[in-house]
Amino acid sequence: MNNWSHPPGQETSRRRSQRVLLNVPITVSSDAPQGAFSEDTQTLVVNAHGALITLAAKVSPGQSLQIKVRSAPETQACRVVYLGPSVDGRTQLGIEFTKPAPNFWHITFPSGDWTTALSDDVVEAKKK
């Protein structure tokens, strides 16, 4: 079980937007006095408010970062809101945009009522 598990139904009430599994090549940078860096990485999951990424650079919760999609010119300010597990020297972290940027990823997100779960009718039909 991971740190992102929630009781059924609770997660959808917390989410402001749908999460999409999407690998987007990005550059993450910081000019923080405790350690300026620039690192190429990619997203694991994106949503209209931020992303889940992996990073080798050491960061702290609340730290300000800049992200840039490598194939686009714009950058977006964000902050670290989640520090997850580290694997092979890379830490999973959740980042949240400091200002709304629903078009930053250049994708259309599923509507709020979209689900991957099978409807009850389909489940019942498969049982027969």
pLDDT value for 100: 84
Contact between 67 and 80 under an 8 Å Cβ cutoff? The reply is no
What pLDDT band is residue 36 in, cutting at 50, 70 and 90? very high
What is the structure's pLDDT at 121?
Answer: 52
User: Is pLDDT above 60 for 5?
Assistant: no
Quick one: three-class SS letters along the chain? CCCCCCCCCHHHHHCCCCCEECCCEEEEEECCCCCCEEEEEEEEEEECCEEEEEECCCCCCCCEEEEEECCCCCEEEEEEEEEEEEECCEEEEEEEECCCCCCCCCCCCCCCCCCCCCCHHHHHHHHC
Taken in order of first residue, the domains within the chain and their CATH numbers are 10-127 (2.40.10.220)
Q: Mind listing the pLDDT tens digit for each residue in 66-123? A: 999 999 999 999 999 999 999 999 999 999 999 988 889 987 766 655 555 545 554 5
Contact assessment for residue 22 and residue 43, using Cβ atoms and an 8 Å cutoff:
yes
User: What one-letter code names the amino acid at 29?
Assistant: S
8-34 pLDDT, tens digit per residue, is: 444 444 556 677 888 999 999 999 877
